[in-house]
Structure formats: C-alpha cells, structure tokens
Structure 1
Amino acid sequence: MLFPTDVGLSLLTALTNDTSIAFHGRRVLDVGCGSGLYTVAALHDGALHVTATDINPACAEATLHNVIRNGLDESAVTTTVADLSHLDVDQPWDLVVCNPPHFPGDPAYAAGDGIEAALVGGRDGRALYDVLLERLDDLLAPGGTLLLTHSSLTDVQRTTKHLTQRGYQVRTLQIVELDIPLRRYAAQRDLLLARLYPLRTLGRAAFRGLRFEVHTLAATRGSTSEESR
C-alpha cells in the first residue's frame, strides 16, 4: 500500500483551484482507494456516501481506519475488496474518482510485496484505465462526473477521444509536471525506461528525460435526454 504520492495529491490540488466540482451531498465511488486519501477528502467536503474499493484488503482496512482517525462518519463509508471489472453496481454514483497505476509492467518489478499492483498497470500501463472506461456507463449516473488523474505515460489523447465519442464532456482541470518516480524501481531503472521508449515512439507515452505530466481530467456524462439525442 502506497503513501499518497504527488500524482494522487495533484487531483486534490486541481479541485482546490477549481471549485466547480464538489463532493457535497453526492454519492462517490473511490476506485483504487489506497490509504483513503480521496475518501477522506470527499467526506470532509460533505459527501453523502463513499464506496471505497480496492483489490488489496489492506487498503480497505486502512481507508476505514483513516476515516475514523479524521473524525469522520464511518457509517457514510462502504469498503469493498474487488476487481473493478467485477464490482457490483446497485446504483450508479454521482462522482467516480480514480488515480490509476501507470507504469508499463515487467516480471522484474514483482517483489512479492504487492507494491507493483499500486504502480504498474499491465503491459502498457493502461490496464485500470481501460477497465474503467469500459465500465464507466455502469458506474456513473447520468449527469455524473469522472475525476481522473491521467499520466502522460499512458496516452491521454486515447482516453479523451474515447470519452468524447461516448458523449462525455471532457475538460482538463490541471496539468502538472513531475519526475518519473524511480526510487522504488532504482534497480530496474534502465528496464523501466526501455519499456517506455517504444511506447513513446508509438505516440502512446509522452515524457522528456525523466519528466512526465499528470493531467487531472473531469469527464461529465450527459443527462438521459442529452444521450438520447
């Protein structure tokens, strides 16, 4: 389980600077909740209820623990241990928040401690992005908004094009430039970069030296009447 990173914190910075999106009175799905950063922020901003989901049971436990430690209402949180592709949806959410892992995978990254699941997103880094996009119409209520931290290492244009074609209104709240976080993978630095260079050649990853961008995207689903037109 990761401590909140600069990538994850950048979404909260974007919301601080753009107050047009608020959690107050809304039902929220926190996808890949980690230590509960977004769940705590949503409840602090008056969210009606938050469903916090992660594939790691320790993350669900830590999220609830951090809600309690921050003096927030634990009855307003449901924690679920599930793969997003198999998450049950009784009622779609008003807001879906996600900070997906974004490194391309390699067996050398596996350390047996599970940390690669928090940082590595399949062969090209897009594994969770693609599942999220596939399920978004099920997860998000009409008129609802997806808040997504999108790494430039994982083809931002592909995601925005997909959402736009599906009728979502997409806007960029913020772009920040960060260092590619290699400390955890210092021993595999050259291997990691070797995975990124071909993706950049294909136009599916963007970075300069060891600097990449994080785009905070807000994608709002049309209302039922808008979608029918």
Structure 2
Amino acid sequence: MSLQLSAEEKAVLLRDYRLTIEPAVDAAYSLLAQNLLDTEQALAYLQKIAPFFHSTSTLVTASLFAKRYSVLTMASAFYAMSRYDKGLYVGIENIWVEAEDHAKPWLPNIRLIDDSVSVPTQDREAWRDEVLQGIFVGNLAKVWQSLTKISKIPKAILWENTAIYVNWLYETKISEGASEQEKARIQEDYHYIVNQAPGSLFGERKNPLTNYCGPKVTIKESEQPIRLRKTCCFYYHTSDEANDFCISCPKIKRLG
C-alpha cells in the first residue's frame, strides 16, 4: 500500500506551499510540466504568460517564470521533507502547473499526478539525497536547460533565482511553528542543501546554490541585512520606472 500525507499535513501544503489537488478552472494557463522540455510548447507558453509580467522579451519572461516555477516545485517538497520526513515526488513527469489568469500577482500552483510519498528507513541521508535528486535532477535542472536553450538566459541566473527561494523557505517559512527537534532537522537539511550536497544531485558538476547562499550584509537601502545578488533577474525591464531595480540587484551602484 502506498504511503500518503495525512489530511492535516496536506492541508498545510494546500494552504501555504503552492500545492493544489484540483485542476485550474480556466486551464488556458495550466501546463503539464513535461511540456516545458519541448522547445515549441515551452516557447508558446512563455509567450502566453508574458503579459502577466509586462514582458516583451523571452529572456525576461524566462527569468521571472523560473522564479515562480522554482518555488512551486520546491516549497511543498522541502516542507514535507524537513517537517514531516515525507518525500513528495516532484519529477517533471509527475506534475501539472496549475494557474488562473485572474490571479494577481500571477502565482501558479503544483498538482501531483501521483501524490504518494516516500519515508526514510534506516538511512535518512540517503533518502534525503533521493528526494533532492527528484527535485533538482528530475525537474529543475531539466527545465533550466530548456529555458536556457529557448531564451539564451544564463543558467547562473536561473540557479540564483532558485537559491533565493531555498534561502527564503529555510530561513523564514519552513521553521514557522516547528518544535526544537524539527528546527534542528530543518537547519541540518538547509546546511546540507546549500553547502554540502554534491553537484550530481543538481545535474551539475558542482553544487550550483553554494555561491548564492553566503552571509547577509548591511546596506543603507535596507533596515535588515540582505544577500546581494550576483546576477540580475531582469525584473527592472518590467517596470515603468527607470532603473527600478530590486534592492539586492548587482546593477545598483553602491557606495563603500
């Protein structure tokens, strides 16, 4: 018999972590994720969603879509892994991107075709590697390769987009309401993902997140310490205001 999330566990993921169990009412902006690996279908999808980002460039659309795709792929999977010790299967052939055209901001969800889960047996570290490999090798690395081919966007930008959400999830979201024991496991998982996991789990020669997960710095533009980006995500291309950069953008000229 296959293992499942409990009703309570599923409710949390449905509410806060981009998981859905229902197809979108308006399926025009939904997509079987595997179609992102087909050049023609992926390009057509980027062109269809470009207006949500006020984008006239395939490169810009690819970057901004990748932000959303990375978080919807990782959020529920990381939460289930680190809070519940349960592994969702988010390989690209197992998920639908579900989105409505009226949502503002435009935030897709993930729907699993097979929603069974795995659990660690005696070796949690080996199990964790399998979960991470499903997230990255089985999904994100393939999509990033496809988006790079279609839009010519450097993969470094896509991986930094990914790293930003790994940091946010593990530093801010996943530990909310956690017990001390759970917090220790969350911190251990986070440290492993960004610092110790080998490149093979990401489909890369070396860990592509490590370079973007260093210490935060203090800048005059922010009350709280932040990490400065090393690559630009091109968000400023979608703004009506000149030089409307993200606060962490490397294009901002900073003093000192």
Structure whose alpha-carbon radius of gyration is higher: 2
Assess same fold via TM > 0.5: no
Q: Which has the higher strand share?
A: 1
Q: Which has the higher helix share?
A: 2
TM, length-normalised to structure 2: 0.31
